């Protein structure tokens, strides 16, 4: 299952042979929304992280595999939704499907399968794929695995493979990875440890030959972030994140970070547990924090 959160980031693509994404003040004309990322749990509008979000059925869902509109969303899919608070109602302005893995099944075991070199834990989901089948995996990153909330077969898919999640800079001499998926073809030098990255390309044994790299979860600028997911193991410098969120913090007590249990946390401007912002007024921050029950 994947991160559930309300977050802050924006990405616009540019091309210089290799294609990356970068923050932009221009995409939404400087307007800051609120972002919700998580697994859809109910319909009738959509419910993510317990938050009811009003949608327009014909609103196009970006990043979906295959392409769908908002009215075709179903429980178990993971989405990143840019919303605006109207009175006491969240209204969706942009919806992106977030897929930790899209690619061929490389191996199948007891309650698990492997896609692009990363293990996918099925939990109670039925296994309806065979080796070589292409699948789209929704779910939450837990350590270097994905705990799946939905597995969709892609029998006619002609598009690229994909891995999306938290990037950590590797040790010297080690390959770039997201989870256990090795990344070749593009070196993500512009990324920092803890950034959210979305990489598309061609599947290779145990990984992906990257053709395109994007950073940031959302399709527009957002402010406060609420995340539900699993903590990463703190790095030697104390850096840790809620996996898949793009929000980082530092600790000098790494043993206190519980990586086995889900947690719900909030943050802003890429910082976990902080709420100071140069783009939002104190009144705006307080209104959103109250609605999201951020402490």
**pLDDT, tens digit, for every residue of 210-269?**
999 999 988 888 888 888 889 999 999 999 999 999 999 999 999 999 999 988 888 888
Given this model, what pLDDT does residue 85 score?
86
CB 238 within 8 Å of CB 44: no
Given this model, what pLDDT does residue 295 score?
67
- What is the sign, positive or negative, of the torsion defined by CA atoms of 245, 248, 249, 250? positive
Given this model, what pLDDT does residue 225 score?
80
Closest CA to 39 of 79, 81, 66: 79
Whether 74 has a pLDDT exceeding 80, the answer reads yes
Q: Cα torsion at 200, 229, 273, 144 (round to 10°)?
A: -60
Prediction pTM value: 0.85
Note the pLDDT tens digit of each residue in 98-137: 999 999 999 999 999 999 999 999 999 998 899 999 999 9
Whether 56 has a pLDDT exceeding 60, the answer reads yes
- In the predicted model, what is the mean pLDDT of residues 184-204? 93
- In the predicted model, what is the mean pLDDT of residues 13-42? 52
Whole-angstrom distance, CA of residue 108 vs CA of residue 129: 9
CB 13 within 8 Å of CB 214: yes
Whole-angstrom distance, CA of residue 245 vs CA of residue 6: 9
β-bridge pairing 145-153 and 118-121: parallel
Whether 8 has a pLDDT exceeding 70, the answer reads no
Cβ atoms < 10 Å from Cβ of 60: 12
Whether 286 has a pLDDT exceeding 80, the answer reads yes
What is the chain's alpha carbon radius of gyration, rounded to the nearest angstrom?
A: 18
How far is the first Cα of the chain from the last one, in angstroms, to the nearest whole number?
24
Cβ atoms < 10 Å from Cβ of 190: 11
What is the pLDDT confidence band of residue 20, given thresholds at 50, 70 and 90? very low
Given this model, what pLDDT does residue 10 score?
29
């Amino acid at each position: 299952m994947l991160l559930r959160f309300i977050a802050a980031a924006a990405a616009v693509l540019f091309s210089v042979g290799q294609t990356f994404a970068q923050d932009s003040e221009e995409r939404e004309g400087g307007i800051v929304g609120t972002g919700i990322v998580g697994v859809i749990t109910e319909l009738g509008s959509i419910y993510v992280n317990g938050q009811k979000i009003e949608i327009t059925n014909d609103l196009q869902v970006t990043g979906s595999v295959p392409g769908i509109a908002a009215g075709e969303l179903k429980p178990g899919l993971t989405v990143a939704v840019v919303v605006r608070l109207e009175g006491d109602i969240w209204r969706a302005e942009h919806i992106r499907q977030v897929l930790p893995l899209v690619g061929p099944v490389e191996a199948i075991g007891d309650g698990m399968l492997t896609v692009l070199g990363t293990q996918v834990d099925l939990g109670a989901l039925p296994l309806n794929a065979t080796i070589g089948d292409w699948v789209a995996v929704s779910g939450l990153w837990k350590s270097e695995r994905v705990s799946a909330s939905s597995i969709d077969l892609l029998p006619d898919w002609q598009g690229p493979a994909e891995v999306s999640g938290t990037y950590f800079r590797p040790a010297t001499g080690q390959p770039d990875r997201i989870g256990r998926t090795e990344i070749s073809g593009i070196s993500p030098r512009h990324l920092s440890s803890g950034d959210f990255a979305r990489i598309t390309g061609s599947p290779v044994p145990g990984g992906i030959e990257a053709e395109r790299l994007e950073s940031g979860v959302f399709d527009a600028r957002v402010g406060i972030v609420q995340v539900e997911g699993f903590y990463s193991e703190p790095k030697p410098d104390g850096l840790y994140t809620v996996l898949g969120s793009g929000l980082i913090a530092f600790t000098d007590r790494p043993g206190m970070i519980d990586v086995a249990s889900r947690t719900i946390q909030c943050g802003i401007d890429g910082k976990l547990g902080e709420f100071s912002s140069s783009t939002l007024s104190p009144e705006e921050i307080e209104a959103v924090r109250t609605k999201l029950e951020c402490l």
